[in-house]
């Protein structure tokens, strides 16, 4: 009888954000796949989990997916974790989940930690409808993607490196307008968690004078209905 693939969220900051069920699943798993075994070892040791760790990250997942799938088909229960948050959300996990689902293997994803939800709920921007864009392309396709989001009316959520934050906010101001509302969340669920809110220009000014550190989530307001219609009319006229 085939085993099960468990996709297990882990804390993005505070270790106490780990759920009881996540600990139970990791303790009972035959194999634990980790994005970084050193990082995951700290978490497992904290909760007294002694499962067998195997490295599974973006540089080897194409080579290891078939092997892991065969082990699950052979009856092993496998748990997948990333360094922080929910695997598959800007972390390795999609390829394995897709391969197992296609094979008819049961895939159970536990609810749990992720940085994007606390960031958008705390932003003060509408969170009834939103789109998650993750990390933007660093070069190829970046500008065209941003242009395609000009008329997006839903709140948008992006992940960004602190080293690229200022340039990204400057680019957002150029594309979306300097007065577009935005929130920058830093170090979600950690000791020095902060949320900076304002227009894109105000945030550019702030981070031009204050160095950004830690994990960053940018929450950007969607386009107002009027702006969207103006954009559509502009291209109709040009056509």
- Residue 60: pLDDT band (50, 70, 90) is confident
In a domain, 237, yes or no: no
Q: Note whether 122 and 214 are same-domain residues.
A: yes
Supply the Cα-derived Rg of the chain in whole angstroms: 20
Residue 193: which domain range? 116-231
In a domain, 238, yes or no: no
Q: Note whether 103 and 121 are same-domain residues.
A: no
Q: Which residue has the tokens 């065209």?
A: 144
Q: Note whether 168 and 206 are same-domain residues.
A: yes
Q: Note whether 163 and 101 are same-domain residues.
A: no
Where is the domain boundary, 80, 109, 138?
A: 109
pLDDT tens digits along 147-159? 999 999 999 999 9
Look at residue 235 in the predicted model and tell me its pLDDT.
45
Q: Note whether 101 and 190 are same-domain residues.
A: no
Question: Which candidate, 93, 36, 98, places its Cα nearest to that of 61?
Answer: 93
Q: How far is CA 227 from the centre of its chain?
A: 28
Least confident piece of the model among 7-21, 29-43, 57-71, 224-238: 224-238
Strand partners, 5: 78, 107
In a domain, 239, yes or no: no
Q: Note whether 130 and 82 are same-domain residues.
A: no
Percent of the chain with pLDDT over 70: 94
Q: Note whether 48 and 105 are same-domain residues.
A: yes
Q: Note whether 105 and 145 are same-domain residues.
A: no
Question: Which candidate, 140, 144, 120, places its Cα nearest to that of 131?
Answer: 120
In a domain, 219, yes or no: yes
Q: Note whether 225 and 172 are same-domain residues.
A: yes
In a domain, 236, yes or no: no
pLDDT tens digits along 73-82? 999 999 999 9
Would you say 31 and 72 are in contact if contact means Cβ atoms under 8 Å apart?
no
Look at residue 62 in the predicted model and tell me its pLDDT.
86
Tally of domains in the chain = 2
Q: Note whether 72 and 167 are same-domain residues.
A: no
In a domain, 32, yes or no: yes
């Amino acid at each position: 009888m085939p085993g099960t693939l468990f996709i297990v969220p882990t804390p993005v900051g505070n270790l106490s954000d780990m759920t009881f069920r996540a600990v139970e699943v990791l303790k009972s798993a035959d194999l634990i796949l980790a994005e970084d075994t050193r990082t995951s070892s700290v978490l497992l040791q904290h909760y007294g989990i002694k499962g067998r760790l195997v490295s599974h990250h973006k540089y080897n997942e194409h080579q290891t997916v078939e092997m892991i799938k065969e082990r699950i088909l052979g009856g092993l229960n496998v748990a997948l974790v990333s360094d922080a948050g929910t695997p598959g959300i800007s972390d390795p996990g999609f390829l394995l989940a897709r391969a197992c689902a296609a094979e008819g293997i049961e895939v159970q994803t536990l609810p749990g930690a992720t940085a994007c939800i606390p960031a958008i709920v705390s932003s003060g921007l509408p969170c009834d409808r939103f789109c998650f864009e993750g990390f933007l392309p660093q070069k190829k396709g970046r500008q065209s993607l941003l242009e395609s989001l000009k008329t997006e009316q839903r709140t948008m959520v992006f992940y960004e490196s602190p080293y690229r934050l200022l340039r990204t906010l400057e680019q957002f101001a150029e594309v979306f307008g300097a007065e577009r509302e935005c929130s920058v969340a830093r170090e979600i669920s950690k000791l020095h968690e902060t949320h900076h809110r304002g227009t894109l220009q105000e945030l550019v000014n702030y981070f031009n004078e204050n160095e950004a550190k830690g994990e960053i989530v940018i929450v950007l307001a969607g386009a107002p209905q009027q702006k969207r219609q103006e954009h559509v009319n502009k291209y109709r006229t040009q056509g």
